[in-house]
Amino acid sequence: MSSHSNMHTLDIHSATTEDILSLENIRSVLIRLEETIVFQLIERAQFARNARCYSSDGFPELKEREGWNSSWLAWFLKETESTHAKVRRFEAPDEYPFTDPSLLPKPILAPVTYPELLWKHSVNVNDQILKFYVDQIIPDITRTLGENSDDGHYGSSAIRDMEVLSALSRRIHFGMFVSESKFRAEPAAFIPHILTPNRDELAALITKPAVEAALLVRLAEKAKVYGQDMDRPGANAEEREKERKIEIDTVVRIYKTFVIPLTKEVEVDYLLTRLDGVSQDEIDKMLATNTFVH
Amino acid sequence: MSSHSNMHTLDIHSATTEDILSLENIRSVLIRLEETIVFQLIERAQFARNARCYSSDGFPELKEREGWNSSWLAWFLKETESTHAKVRRFEAPDEYPFTDPSLLPKPILAPVTYPELLWKHSVNVNDQILKFYVDQIIPDITRTLGENSDDGHYGSSAIRDMEVLSALSRRIHFGMFVSESKFRAEPAAFIPHILTPNRDELAALITKPAVEAALLVRLAEKAKVYGQDMDRPGANAEEREKERKIEIDTVVRIYKTFVIPLTKEVEVDYLLTRLDGVSQDEIDKMLATNTFVH
């Protein structure tokens, strides 16, 4: 284990493929993202539901002035992801845009040379993430302010929406690093089920029920601590629970019913095309030796 | 007190001047911003110092491709604030841009009618905030990763920089709401010192040492709780202190040496022009009755 929590972030200049794909690094990124997700959910939960921001006709000005036919949030995502695309955010193997890539500008910076990490793939589940976020997460975390509350803080809530979505997207797509890492460690176990193909067997190979159970315990603890009311020093533990910023159950449910299953789907989707373009010779070698052949 | 922590945020559609300028509301906004500032400092602290992002010649591509003569961070601020300006963020009386307003686009939305809150003023201390942030805060919170560490995560760190800066700016400029609220409650106490003018007397009128002391205690508690290592369930309190995400002293020092004094400066600067354009008749009435005359 690293000697400082900050060491969750590898140096982009010097990290090797082995460093990045080590289960220790992957685990540390995924665990650190739990904090970010809980923090940013709490930040969003201080504002009302503001349903108007999520429907395609909520702000007619966006259509009239910007020719934009989708929602307020989708407009914020497009604008913000356009800025980030210019500085090559989506060339990183763990960053995927919510906006249709054809609407995003080209980078103004020369490309970074990343080590070869992921196999060529076309996985992007951001549409599913956005839908679940708008339909389930937002109503859940804003319910205490009223079922259909609207406080007019549309910009503030959209900025927090983007933070949550970006962290969820990175968390879920990071599953491909798990798949790649496990595939490289034991290719002969995966190859037959990729060739069949058999989703269930692949899912079984990457699922560790004990790790998932530990995750939910750790997450509940983080939600408990970060979500308590800290505004009145001297308040005891019971009083701090009364004015929570977010419910522990809500955070755990988001992971249990959504983040974990969708990550698994991403992991399997990625594996299913993992042998596309790999020669029969290489496949045979990996099957015979159970060693990753590059 | 509100019955739920989420009630820190007033409804923009229905809040009256009295609601917004009540000391209870102001206090609740300022206290809630402590969480945001601590959270976002922790988010930034996971990345290296990345000094290249803060110097005007760190990325020659920005000059060559975008005609931009300032830093990577300033470019991110300009791009992001341009998006936000389109949806009228800076028409809100508690939002001030870091970017030269002449570089920002006009809003595409019709203006919101805010209640009359602040007197006409030209206070904007974002240059000071940015300078202190780059010179002091960034080296402080990233020191454990090395004095001049660079991990290549320039986009990720800039996004977190903007979150911290935006929260600090809102916190510090919110001092003007404190000034306005206190001026309205007791105009006769302020008017002589505005007319003299006497900064020290004005500062004394808005300073509450007991409130500041309580703030620092509360802030230390928040930094202690949010900054602890929560990644290993079962770890005891001592172990959780060993791998802190941010030092308690650092957070307290940021407030004590910077946020609190600069807020006071903003409060006094605002008061000094509070009578500009107010008629002598109104001033006399306020002095005689010690009641705010609008």
Minimal C-alpha gap between A285 and chain B (Å): 37
Supply B258's token pair: 């910077």
Q: What is the pLDDT of residue A142?
A: 96
Residue in B closest to A79 by C-alpha: B83
Kindly report the average pLDDT of chain B as a whole number. 93
Kindly report the average pLDDT of chain A as a whole number. 93
Minimal C-alpha gap between A40 and chain B (Å): 9
Supply A116's token pair: 């070869």
Supply B55's token pair: 């110097």
What number does CATH give the domain A5-289?
1.10.590.10
Confidence of residue B2 (pLDDT cuts 50, 70, 90): very low
Minimal C-alpha gap between A144 and chain B (Å): 8
Pick from B6, B45, B233: CB nearest A144:
B6
Pick from B8, B79, B231: CB nearest A46:
B8
Q: What is the pLDDT of residue B233?
A: 63
ipTM for the predicted complex comes to 0.93
A/B interface, count of CB pairs below 8 Å: 152
pLDDT at A12 over 80: no
Give the pLDDT mean for B140-162: 95
pLDDT at B55 over 70: yes
| pLDDT tens figures, A151-190 | 999 999 999 999 999 999 999 999 999 999 999 999 999 9
Q: What is the pLDDT of residue A281?
A: 97
Give the pLDDT mean for B40-59: 97
- Check A65 against B226: CB less than 8 A apart: no
| pLDDT tens figures, A226-247 | 999 887 766 777 777 778 999 9
pLDDT at B4 over 90: no
Three-state secondary structure along chain A? CCCCHHHHCCCCCCCCHHHHHCHHHHHHHHHHHHHHHHHHHHHHHCCCCCHHHHCCCCCHHHHHHHCCCCCHHHHHHHHHHHHHHHCCHHHCCCCCCCCCHHHCCCCCCCCCCCCCCCCCCCCCCHHHHHHHHHHHHHHHHHHHHCCCCCCCCHHHHHHHHHHHHHHHHHHHHCHHHHHHHHHHHCHHHHHHHHHCCCHHHHHHHHCCHHHHHHHHHHHHHHHHHHHCCCCCCCCCHHHHHHCCCCCHHHHHHHHHHHHHHHHHHHHHHHHHCCCCCCCHHHHHHHHHHCCCCC
| pLDDT tens figures, B11-41 | 878 889 999 999 999 999 999 999 999 999 9
Q: What is the pLDDT of residue A1?
A: 30
| pLDDT tens figures, B88-115 | 999 999 999 999 999 999 999 988 777 8
Q: What percent of chain B has pLDDT over 90?
A: 85
Q: What percent of chain B has pLDDT over 70?
A: 96
Residue B154, C-beta contacts closer than 8 angstroms, at least 6 positions apart: A87, B50, B52, B53, B72
Confidence of residue A116 (pLDDT cuts 50, 70, 90): confident
Sequence spans of domains, chain A: 5-289
Pick from B42, B66, B88: CB nearest A108:
B66
Provide the angle, in degrees to the nearest 10, between the axes of the packed helices A260-272 and A199-206. 120
Confidence of residue A8 (pLDDT cuts 50, 70, 90): low
CB-side exposure of A223: number of CA atoms within 13 Å?
20
Give the pLDDT mean for B69-97: 96
Q: What gap in Å lies between CA B17 and CA B116, rounded to an integer? A: 7
A237 backbone dihedrals φ, ψ, rounded to 5°: -60, -40
Chain B positions in Cβ-Cβ contact with residue A87 (cut-off 8 Å):
154-155
Q: What percent of chain A has pLDDT over 70?
A: 96
Pick from A43, A45, A243: CB nearest B39:
A43
Minimal C-alpha gap between B228 and chain A (Å): 10
Q: What is the pLDDT of residue B143?
A: 94
